């Protein structure tokens, strides 16, 4: 399609998305950004947060991601993500249990290193929960 991008979202365990899109939005480490057709070449790091692809039909497809990198070149967007889970595949109860578990373990953490790792785990669990419930 003349006014679209080719978007690919890939993680180590799967190809989460490949298709034509109107736009691609991601949580960059320096702030969220959106890619439209004609965007300048870009290489950006991403952090934990939702990625939203707006298809050529206007549908929004949302993924819970755990960071990675995005490359944009010639209207082709490739995201290499640590994890990329479609919102409609997230088990809400499992995500809520992971959030509760991470919060409990964070409260009991003894060292700064443990607190940092558990805070990151809690952030990932909350991102999955928000994304699954449409709170993007």
Q: Do residues 98 and 65 both lie within one domain?
A: no
CA angle 49/50/51 to nearest 5° reads 125
Instruction: Indicate the pTM of the whole model.
Output: 0.85
Q: Do residues 22 and 77 both lie within one domain?
A: yes
pLDDT per residue over 18-39, tens digit each? 999 999 999 999 999 999 999 9
Q: What CATH number does residue 20 fall under?
A: 2.60.15.10
Res 62 pLDDT > 70: yes
d(CA 70, CA 49): 14
What is the reported pLDDT for 1?
A: 57
What is the reported pLDDT for 2?
A: 66
In which domain, by residue range, is 120 found? Answer: 90-132
Q: Do residues 116 and 97 both lie within one domain?
A: yes
Q: How many CB atoms lie within 10 A of CB 69?
A: 14
DSSP code at position 39: P
Q: Do residues 38 and 101 both lie within one domain?
A: no
């Amino acid at each position: 399609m003349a006014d679209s991008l080719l978007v690919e979202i890939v993680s180590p365990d799967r190809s989460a998305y490949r298709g034509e899109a109107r736009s691609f939005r991601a949580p960059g480490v320096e702030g969220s950004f959106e890619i439209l057709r004609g965007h300048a070449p870009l290489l950006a790091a991403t952090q934990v947060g939702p990625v939203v692809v707006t298809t050529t039909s206007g549908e929004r497809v949302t993924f819970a991601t755990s960071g990675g990198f995005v490359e944009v070149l010639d209207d082709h967007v490739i995201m290499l993500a640590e994890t990329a889970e479609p919102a409609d595949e997230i088990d809400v109860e499992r995500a809520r249990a992971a959030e509760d578990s991470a919060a409990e373990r964070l409260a009991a953490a003894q060292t700064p290193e443990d607190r940092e790792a558990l805070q990151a785990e809690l952030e990932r669990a909350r991102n999955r929960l928000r994304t699954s419930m449409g709170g993007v």
